[in-house]
Structure 1
Amino acid sequence: MNTLQILILAAVQGIAELLPVSSSAHVIVAEKLMGLDPTAPQMTLLLVMLHTGTMFAVIVNFWKSWRETYFSSAQQFTSNGARLMVATAATGVVGLALMQGIKHFVAANASKFEIEQLFGNAHLMAAALAAAGILIIISARIAASGLNNVSMRSALWIGAVQGLCLPFRGFSRSGATISTGLALGVERRRAEQFSFALAVILTPVVIAKEGYRLYTVEHAAGAAGAHDLLHSLAPGLLGMVLSFLTGLFALRWLSRWLEQGRWYLFGLYCLIAALIVVWVG
């Protein structure tokens, strides 16, 4: 994996991770087109670093608005914190139950089965992209009632839908959670803020999971594997910076289209992307 390939993946990850178009689907397709192995330890290390870059982009972009809302008083902090906890708990329950169900019915409870083994399935990825696209388009057509905040009930539903996104690459997390908020009548800006607050909670868990997978592979490879990873560290840092910058650009793009009533265009893009994924295979 050369520096140009890392920069391409960083740009794809930074933009697609924060737009409602599924970064994983785009990254996997980009890897296939460049002939890269998504299961290689160097790729796992790069993915961890790129996720870190986009997480910092979310924090920088939303910090001012979160400070004015979530941290404006002790009451607001407690109230919003409780909703985020409920949503995160719902994500964990639904996501873990779904992954265990997939392991039971698809892999017959094979001990070595990992959900990542499904990520290369083009038809499954295309179906998830299409589902996300339809959800985005439907939510865009539902008139928001202008609720000022996310209710506990809305938080529960948003978290549950986020749980559905965990096993399926192509089912955009941001697209699904924001669309669920809009469908429940949450005001657009509030739905966006809540969705990405959930992302900041979820991303460290994803990074830790990928880091553990990287550790197990590196441990099995021994000194040679550790040397290869150290060799990939510097280009990975460059990729992390680029994913941070492109992430900021993507967030401003998303906010602008959401406020201007162009949310449905992301849904149309997901439908087109689903066809492309099937074609690329």
Structure 2
Amino acid sequence: MSEYFIAVIIGIVEGLTEYLPISSTGHMILVGNMIGFTGEKASVFEVFIQLGAILAVLILYRDKFMDMLRPEKLKLVNYKENGLSLIHVMAAIVPVMGIGYILHKPIKNHLFSTNTVIIGLLLGSIVMLAAEKFAKQHLIDDIDKITVKQAFLVGLFQILSLWPGFSRSGSTISGGLLLGMSRKSAAEFSFIIAVPLMGVACLYDFLKIWKLLSISDLKFFAAGFAVAFVVAYFSIIWLIRFLNKSSLASFAIYRFILAGVSYYYFFIR
């Protein structure tokens, strides 16, 4: 299979699944194993193209990021009156960053396999359906109304995503629903906190494996980055529109089907 065809396939998978609640890591592991794209180079590539997905959020929500950097938003004394701030973002990402740092090696060594992804897909689907069933009345329809406490609690739900297949966006959106957020506000908060979280995670992984790159890989990596960016950009727009009218149930059903198909493909056929 052509190297550039692989770049397009994996770029599409990353762009489609990074922000949809269906697990990008899980899909990358499953698809990578299906097409034989595994090993050290694949790991570097998958880390690098996540930067394309991050760029999509930065462009789509550039006004919100610029707003959070205003001087009054950076003051600890009155952050509560100024809407979403960097304090909210930090409260949401510190829990998963701490646990992720401590457990990074065992997670990479023991959870990045097809069978653990299948388990994560199933359990994540159950969490999402439970969130829809037991969601509080939507009191928060705007991300500027989210409190620091709620941001922190969403961050605790995000820890579930350290298990491949659970889905970071699925975990955070589910947590948001249970805390009284609308699907749209929960999704947008999930996108925003993904930027620093994914940025740090990518940098951490990239610094460990960048030496595996060569000049000849640049075009291959650039192609994957570009595809991931474009697909992520439009998938975010689509998801917000979808969640304005529909629930997470459709994604949960898809995940159940994917888990079943993957189990058959890897363990039965």
TM-score range, shorter chain: 0.7 to 0.9
Query: Deviating runs (4+, > 4 A) in structure 1?
Result: 65-68, 70-73
1:22 aligns with 2:20: no
Q: Quote the residue 2:244 is aligned against.
A: 259
Do the aligned residues in 2 keep the contact of 1:17 with 1:23 (CA within 8 Å)? yes
Q: 1:47 to 1:91 in 2, by over 3 A?
A: same
CA offset at residue 10 of structure 1?
0.5
Q: Pick from 133, 155, 163: which aligns with 2:151?
A: 155
Do the aligned residues in 2 keep the contact of 1:150 with 1:191 (CA within 8 Å)? no
Q: Give the Cα–Cα distance (whole angstroms) in 1 for the partners of residues 119 and 19 of structure 2.
A: 20
Q: Give the Cα–Cα distance (whole angstroms) in 2 for the partners of residues 119 and 93 of structure 1.
A: 18
Deviations 1:20-71 (A, max 9, x none): 100111111111111222x32x213311321110000111122245557x46
Q: Pick from 200, 206, 211: which aligns with 1:211?
A: 206
Aligned-pair Cα RMSD in Å:
2.3
What is the TM-score normalised by the length of structure 1? 0.82
Corresponding residue pairs, total: 254
CA offset at residue 9 of structure 1?
0.6
Q: Structure 2 counterpart of 1:81, which letter?
A: L
Do the aligned residues in 1 keep the contact of 2:30 with 2:114 (CA within 8 Å)? no
Deviations 1:119-164 (A, max 9, x none): 4432221111112111222222325332252222211211112123
Q: Quote the residue 2:7 is aligned against.
A: 6
Q: Give the Cα–Cα distance (whole angstroms) in 1 for the partners of residues 18 and 222 of structure 2.
A: 18
Q: Give the Cα–Cα distance (whole angstroms) in 1 for the partners of residues 197 and 167 of structure 2.
A: 14
For structure 1, the 5+ residue unaligned runs are: 101-112, 219-224
Matches within 5 A, 1:54-203: 54-64=53-63, 70=68, 74-75=72-73, 78-79=79-80, 80-96=85-101, 99=103, 114-141=106-133, 142-147=135-140, 148=142, 149-166=145-162, 168-203=163-198
CA offset at residue 75 of structure 1?
4.5
Q: 1:207 to 1:190 in 2, by over 3 A?
A: same
Q: Give the Cα–Cα distance (whole angstroms) in 1 for the partners of residues 260 and 74 of structure 2.
A: 44
After superposing the two structures, state which structure 1 stretch, 8-17 or 201-210, moved more.
201-210
Q: Give the Cα–Cα distance (whole angstroms) in 1 for the partners of residues 137 and 250 of structure 2.
A: 18
For structure 2, the 5+ residue unaligned runs are: none
Percent of matched pairs sharing the same residue: 24
Do the aligned residues in 2 keep the contact of 1:49 with 1:237 (CA within 8 Å)? no
What secondary structure sits across from 1:9 in the alignment?
helix
Q: Give the Cα–Cα distance (whole angstroms) in 2 for the partners of residues 73 and 213 of structure 1.
A: 35
Do the aligned residues in 1 keep the contact of 2:118 with 2:259 (CA within 8 Å)? yes
What secondary structure sits across from 1:18 in the alignment?
coil
Q: Give the Cα–Cα distance (whole angstroms) in 2 for the partners of residues 151 and 66 of structure 1.
A: 17
Q: Give the Cα–Cα distance (whole angstroms) in 2 for the partners of residues 264 and 65 of structure 1.
A: 29
